[in-house]
Amino acid sequence: MSDKRAIGVFDSGLGGLTVVKELFKALPNEDIVYFGDTGRVPYGTRSVETIKKYARQDEQFLISRDVKLIIAACGTVSSVAADTANDLPVPFFEVVSHAAKAAVGATKNGKIAVIGTNATVKSRQHEKVILSLMPNAQVLNQSCTLFVPLVEEGWYSADDVVVLETVSRYLKPVFEFGADTLILGCTHYPILSEAISKILGDEVTLINAGTATAQAVREYLEGNGLANTSSKPNHSFYVSDKPDSFVKQASVLLGCEIDGNNVQKVDINNL
């Protein structure tokens, strides 16, 4: 038994592509429908009510594409708006719990740092999961407000002075805390991994929520006989702003070319 319907993935912009990249590795036969809400990025500075409104719209768009499950490839939505998925007719995966579990498994000194958007950090959702699994853990939460705009502008090279200075300033508390494990609590942040490691050092383990989430999705699909056995997957990308800039950056982030004909603009407010 198999299910040839696509996996639905949404994020506020480009960041969710880091999850898609991991899905490509873990589930190479699966069709993927991706929605990047590029017209309303970032979500992390919005009110909880607005984030939930956006999440519901994103979820309903993916449902309209007949997906078999939905991944909120957004740390902000996963932290403060995961309950919007309670009434969905398909399984829902968020990225927070999987990242937290991976961090607990990786840490050696029990000091785990979490970086994310304002909304993610304020929710302390990663910390709650970490402490439920490791009560003696020490957790530092650090907001990195400018990381998403940097990535969306295409500024993420570890050789860029502006990138390194920005990363260094935000991560100073993490360095002083002595964390040996760092959760990249926004799916945009893995794109800055090289710069982050350059500042913190290779001895600090970076937790990419996309890797852990993709593995969880694979286990679910294979365990329930829902994996797609087709060898020629189709991937569709939708955005709420100009497709052109998305195509260029997405190809870089995914490590493969995206056909511009597979990227369409949708009016998320009028569906």
Q: Dump pLDDT digits (tens) for 107-141.
A: 999 999 999 999 999 999 999 999 999 999 999 99
Residue 232 confidence class, pLDDT cut points 50, 70, 90: confident
pLDDT at 86: 96
Contact assessment for residue 109 and residue 178, using Cβ atoms and an 8 Å cutoff: yes
Catalytic amino acids?
74, 186
Could you please state the CATH topology (level 3) that the domain comprising 96-209 is classified under: Rossmann fold (3.40.50)
The SS3 of residue 264 is: strand
Q: What's the pTM value of the predicted model, to 2 decimals?
A: 0.92
Fold agreement between 7-94+211-270 and 96-209: yes
Does the pLDDT of residue 231 top 80, yes or no? no
CATH class of 7-94+211-270: alpha beta
Is 40 within 8 Å of 17 (Cβ atoms)? no
Instruction: Parse the chain into domains and list their residue ranges.
Output: 7-94+211-270, 96-209
Nearest-angstrom CA–CA distance, 110 and 167 = 23
The β-bridge partners of 263 are: 237
**Distance between CA atoms of residues 230 and 189, nearest Å:** 32
pLDDT, average across residues 6-34: 95
How high is the mean pLDDT of the chain?
A: 95
Distance of CA 73 to the CA centre of its chain: 4
Please tell me the distance from the alpha carbon of residue 139 to that of residue 177, in angstroms, as a whole number: 9
DSSP 153: T
Amino acid 268 reads I
- Report which residue type is found at 111: K
Tens of pLDDT, residue by residue over 152-197, are 888 999 999 999 999 999 999 999 999 999 999 999 999 999 999 9
